[in-house]
């Protein structure tokens, strides 16, 4: 086999594996969306049934934690392990996705992104190990029958080679080539995921908040709004710290602890079902409905959403916090925009939401880019100004 043939073979194999990863991601999102909607469309308005269902969910999650371990694993744990060891254990990826799916379907106020990203990291390492096996075992591999080759290529756990620094290629152009190849695989996985989402007409994760006609005079409010958002974010971080202390019990009793989360989910499902799940499905309704409620009521809803998130996270109903925090931050922005009714609503909302979310998540660029997706293009420079403020703040504090 020539070097050209080998490179082509590896590239095609990598494209196949990345398509499989994109397909698995789609299956997870498809099941989460359809199962949760089917279940809760049947449950809503039936308090006893909601309570019994969520209690069953809590028992199931606690049982699986006893049986399998502390799943689902969130993204920052997996990424941290990858940075330390240059590899991760990917055999439990299906366990990770299964428990995450149960958490989401039973109505926990968390997002799918943490467990899904964690699983994607595991699957990406799996892909690399499969490609590495083919690269280093090519002489033996080409002597095998086609059926045996196919078996080894598609076997989910065997025929993989973990990263070893002493075996890594040392060619000066290898790093650039590796970046290019990995980028190709990422885009291929995203393409597969997107096509499957379109073909099955799955709803978008992003809901637009409307149109903005902000003017230069609105900039008079810029710094006060950034400060208000920052203070709101700091208040949530204090709440998070206190709730972690409050729920520091029953560490070895996951079923008991999960049942506390079940009670919280059932109460939300009975009295405020729009706060179930991560919030992304309800976010599109905010621009049309927020004026129908008092500012006090909406602030209570924001607080409840954040408390609900923390109760879920602290009782074993683990998932992503980005979507819930962004939902609460945008709702907080719309709520306070009632005070500044003579100014552009989305101008006010975007500054409050981005400054609050950036304070909480502590990732200015990532949060800003994500929040910008919900707002019109002419708001993007304002969100970038918020990011700039936080970079200046960080630099001043580090001096």
What H or E segment, with its residue span, contains residue 335? helix 322-337
Question: Can you give the pLDDT at residue 172?
Answer: 65
Q: Please name which of 338, 372, 345, 376 lies closest in space to residue 357, comparing C-alpha atoms.
A: 372
CA angle 285, 47, 244 (to 5 degrees): 70
Question: Can you give the pLDDT at residue 188?
Answer: 93
Whole-number Å distance between alpha carbons of 131 and 20 = 14
DSSP summary character for residue 302: H
3-state secondary structure at position 316: coil
Question: Can you give the pLDDT at residue 174?
Answer: 65
Question: Can you give the pLDDT at residue 168?
Answer: 61
C-alpha 55, offset from chain centre: 25
The 3-state secondary structure of 359-388, one letter per residue:
HHHCCHHHHHHHHHCCCCHHHHHHHHHHHH
Whole-number Å distance between alpha carbons of 375 and 381 = 11
Query: Are residues 277 and 327 in contact, defined by beta-carbon separation less than 8 angstroms?
Result: no
3-state secondary structure at position 111: strand
Q: Please name which of 393, 322, 361 lies closest in space to residue 237, comparing C-alpha atoms.
A: 361
Whole-number Å distance between alpha carbons of 25 and 191 = 12
Question: Can you give the pLDDT at residue 324?
Answer: 92
Whole-number Å distance between alpha carbons of 350 and 226 = 10
Q: What domains lie within the chain, and their CATH numbers?
A: 3-199 (no CATH), 216-398 (1.10.3080.10)
Tokens 């080894």 sit on residue = 152
Query: Are residues 332 and 212 in contact, defined by beta-carbon separation less than 8 angstroms?
Result: no
Whole-number Å distance between alpha carbons of 369 and 328 = 17
Show the low-confidence residues of the chain (pLDDT under 70).
Answer: 1-6, 164-174, 399
Whole-number Å distance between alpha carbons of 27 and 172 = 39
DSSP summary character for residue 159: S
Question: Can you give the pLDDT at residue 91?
Answer: 83
Question: Can you give the pLDDT at residue 166?
Answer: 61
Question: Can you give the pLDDT at residue 362?
Answer: 85
Whole-number Å distance between alpha carbons of 78 and 84 = 10
Question: Can you give the pLDDT at residue 247?
Answer: 92
Whole-number Å distance between alpha carbons of 258 and 264 = 10
- Own/partner contacts of 14-18, CB < 8 Å, gap of 24 or more, are 14/127, 14/131, 14/181, 14/184, 14/185, 15/184, 15/185, 15/188, 16/153, 17/127, 17/130, 17/131, 17/185, 18/127, 18/185, 18/186, 18/188, 18/189, 18/192
Tokens 């304002």 sit on residue = 382
Whole-number Å distance between alpha carbons of 192 and 178 = 21
């Amino acid at each position: 086999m020539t070097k050209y043939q080998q490179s082509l073979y590896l590239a095609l194999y990598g494209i196949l594996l990345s398509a499989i990863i994109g397909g698995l991601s789609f299956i997870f999102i498809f099941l989460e969306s359809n199962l949760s909607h089917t279940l809760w469309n049947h449950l809503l308005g039936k308090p006893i049934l909601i309570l019994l269902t969520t209690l069953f969910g809590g028992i199931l999650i606690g049982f699986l934690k006893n049986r399998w371990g502390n799943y689902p694993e969130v993204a920052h744990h997996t990424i941290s392990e990858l940075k330390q060891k240059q590899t991760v254990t990917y055999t439990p990826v299906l366990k990770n996705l299964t428990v995450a799916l149960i958490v989401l379907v039973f109505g926990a106020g968390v997002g799918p992104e943490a467990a899904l990203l964690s699983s994607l990291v595991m699957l990406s390492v799996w892909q690399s190990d499969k490609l590495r096996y083919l690269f280093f075992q090519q002489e033996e591999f080409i002597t095998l029958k086609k059926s045996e080759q196919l078996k080894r290529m598609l076997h989910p756990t065997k025929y993989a080679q973990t990263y070893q620094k002493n075996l890594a290629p040392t060619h000066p152009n290898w790093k650039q080539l590796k970046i290019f190849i990995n980028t190709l695989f990422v885009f291929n996985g995203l393409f597969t995921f997107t096509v499957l989402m379109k073909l099955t007409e799955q709803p978008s994760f992003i809901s637009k908040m409307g149109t903005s006609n902000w003017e230069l005079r609105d900039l008079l409010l810029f710094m006060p709004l950034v400060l208000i958002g920052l203070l709101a974010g700091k208040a949530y971080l204090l709440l998070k710290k206190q709730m972690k202390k409050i729920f520091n019990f029953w560490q070895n009793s996951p079923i008991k602890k999960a049942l506390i989360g079940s009670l919280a989910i059932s109460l939300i499902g009975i009295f405020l079902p729009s706060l179930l799940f991560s919030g992304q499905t309800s976010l599109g309704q905010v621009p049309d409905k927020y004026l129908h409620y008092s500012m006090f009521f909406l602030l209570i809803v924001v607080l409840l959403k954040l408390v609900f998130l923390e109760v879920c996270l602290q009782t074993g109903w683990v998932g992503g916090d980005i979507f819930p925090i962004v939902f609460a931050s945008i709702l907080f922005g719309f709520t306070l925009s009632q005070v500044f009714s003579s100014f552009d609503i989305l101008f006010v909302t975007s500054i409050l939401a981005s400054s609050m979310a950036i304070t909480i998540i502590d990732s200015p660029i990532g949060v800003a880019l994500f929040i910008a997706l919900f707002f019109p293009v002419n708001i993007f420079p304002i969100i970038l100004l918020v990011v700039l403020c936080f970079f200046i703040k960080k630099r001043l504090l580090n001096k």
